[in-house]
Structure 1
């Protein structure tokens, strides 16, 4: 347990109040970081403080504030990190393919709700031992490797402690794949139809029309960081809605739900975002003209 005086000192050093990081969340992040570093060993107070002082404390405070949903911290994070993340993505894939992965990180960083409704942000895995920028590059690189493994059935990469690894066995053709894709499509149509009109417009601008974040923000009269946060929030909401529909309405198990998402990752087939967004718009119009007028007023 880290002494309260140490937490207070580190919180000031991290400019925790400046970023409006929850003190309890910051203290928990320190505990988690120390727990990983010492792996169950019980360090003395001097050793523990020396380790904590070595952390990237301000980055840790920003991560805690973003995980808690603070808008100012999130805007700072997007404006500072997005250009750096895009440069890292371009280094991984000069054709620009990795930028989609970089954008998809924001939904996980914003956080998905678990079954209890508690938002779980990817920031909980940031422990401050490296800078936030370095950590994001590492996460992006790992996502890229994971995508290659899925799409190309690559051999498993060797572990650090082994000189070789056996090839990963090829997965047999999934007889339920078409069914899974159909279920995902139906769930997506319902999720998109239930979105607010402004959220659908933001999705359409960015994904269907392929506008940049800045252009999307101008279309909606909002800052590009606000547009980014809105996209992240909408992606998270869609993911939650999909999982809830597949689990509650269809009755799939967690393993079957995971397979549904894998099927789409491997080959989305006939799924067309423009068409789905149009279905969502029609669904909202069909619910009544008063609702449509209200949606238009939200623009």
Structure 2
């Protein structure tokens, strides 16, 4: 459950691209299997991105975000692996490959996003003409028609993978809409354009409310041990080995439980969102929202329930 993050200003020049021998030493020999797993899982090669380039993107994002740890905290191997596993690997690979100008990546990008972006722009501007113009303008910008110091410049290089690429694109589109409106100097509100029959965007308050309620209901309805596992692994940053030690089971068992549980939670969230009026596609995109962008305290939800916390029942602290 990674959720939508805001747009930053990192350019392609800031991207880290490691040589093969450098990428092999990023995390130590013990984690080479993890790097290979992440690279293959992201299907980076299918969009023209080499292993070294993909690992370079992981390093850049991790260092920029401090691997999700507090300021001044040095990330170890386990923390890096956990952070990287939480990224949208396939979306990150696609965005980086597009930023580097790989044609096969752009073909996939167009097939996936050009239509949805145009529909989102029309809904945003409430005008077919203005919306199509806005979407086409963003598409050209993303393609990197501009150059900085002779280097292709695409905003896609700044995508971090911490939320869905579609969510990032919607946020970028909304920012360009506001920027364009300000440049025109018009005094009418943004929403005063010709209305259309498009449904609200996923970022609409109605959808945000549906997501927040779904999260509360699904997570709050989990059993004590399930809530403990999610809280310990995703919020407290405990390793599988540590959790296994607390529950007196092998770490492989914990790994299977966490994987099965997250898959089950995702299915329940999708079902709950669709029950609240979202289409399947909108529900899937809503799950790409960054948890920092919703007003739900996940720790409170997971650790507060009528059935009590798992630690209360077992005496764990």
State TM-score, norm by structure 1: 0.47
User: Which structure ranks higher in relative contact order (CA pairs < 8 Å, sequence separation ≥ 6)?
Assistant: 2
State TM-score, norm by structure 2: 0.45
